[in-house]
Amino acid sequence: MIWLIGNRGMLGSDVEVLLKRDYQPYIASDIDVDITDFKALRDFIARSDVSWIINCSAYTAVDNAEDERDKTFAINADGAHNIACVAAAAGAALVHVSTDYVFDGEKSEPYLEEDTPNPIGVYGLSKLAGERHVASAMGRYFIIRTAWLYGHRGNNFVRTMLRLFSERDEVRVVADQWGSPTFTKDLAAAIISIISGNSTRYGIYHFTNEGRTTWYDFAREIYTLARNYRRVDREVRIIPITTEEYPTKVKRPRNSYLSKDKIRRVMGIECRDWRDALEEYVREMTSHPPADFSPMPPNPPEGGLFGL
């Protein structure tokens, strides 16, 4: 039995789709089972014979985290620790999702799993604390760091750009931050692959779609595909700007490019090119727009402002 935590979120909802597709026996929870409440977690798992736990829950509001430090650490650090302790007591393996924000972005080469973390904000600090809590509480864990997520539920950079392209003649996007966009469907497939194979190659892994780009070039590709699939029918000028021209409360990692060599070599999991994944996403948005999209904020951000 698999326990999926955070099944209503952007990533968790895609994981649940695959669990249903593969007829995997699973139970699911979201805010109805508070991960900051150890007893609630223990009571929930007691009802089922769980052998795997997938933790897709997280506090991801990067800027708000600076003002809500206690809440952020309660969810991302203490919550992760509670889940790991419950998993260990039940003899279950854990897949825990983390982030590129554990790094400071100052490295010029791709980040390896062995590189020393150095978070530069509360969100990254809380996620690193969560990783360390998991590793200290149990041995049967997979920590998967990812970056620049977008999917069919919730707010994300792609949906923000699509809305702005329909509303504005000009859109300004940061052009000096590098990383790899990641379609939640692909990350979900990687997680299910690990579980389906009953892997015991525990440890930290990186997974994103392949290829390195900037938020600006990411936005340009979104616009091109939106025009090709007739999601947008107007001319929009996309203007590259520097990080300094788009100030945010928290400094973003300049380089968020994560090496996927380990997950390929050890797990045999491939990472398709980010452009191919994005085209599939835009095509799906056009032909079968999900009915359960959550509303976007009235003034959505224009740059790289999303966490997990």
* Residue in 26, 59, 111, 123 annotated catalytic: 123
Q: Which helix (H) or strand (E) holds 157?
A: helix 157-167
Q: Is 123 a catalytic residue?
A: yes
- How many H helices and E strands in the chain? 10, 12
Q: Which amino acid is at 100?
A: D
- Maximum distance among all alpha carbons in the chain? 57
3-state SS assignment for residue 86:
helix
CB 97 within 8 A of CB 146: yes
* Whole-angstrom distance, CA of residue 193 vs CA of residue 205: 13
Q: Which helix (H) or strand (E) holds 16?
A: helix 10-21
* Whole-angstrom distance, CA of residue 78 vs CA of residue 17: 28
* Whole-angstrom distance, CA of residue 106 vs CA of residue 181: 19
Alpha-carbon dihedral sign for residues 3, 5, 8, 13:
negative
Q: Which of 149, 151, 153 is nearest to 294 (CA)?
A: 153
Q: From the CB of residue 295, how many other CB atoms can be counted at a distance below 10 Å? A: 6
According to DSSP, the residues that pair with 99 across neighbouring strands are 146
* Whole-angstrom distance, CA of residue 12 vs CA of residue 46: 22
Catalytic site positions: 123
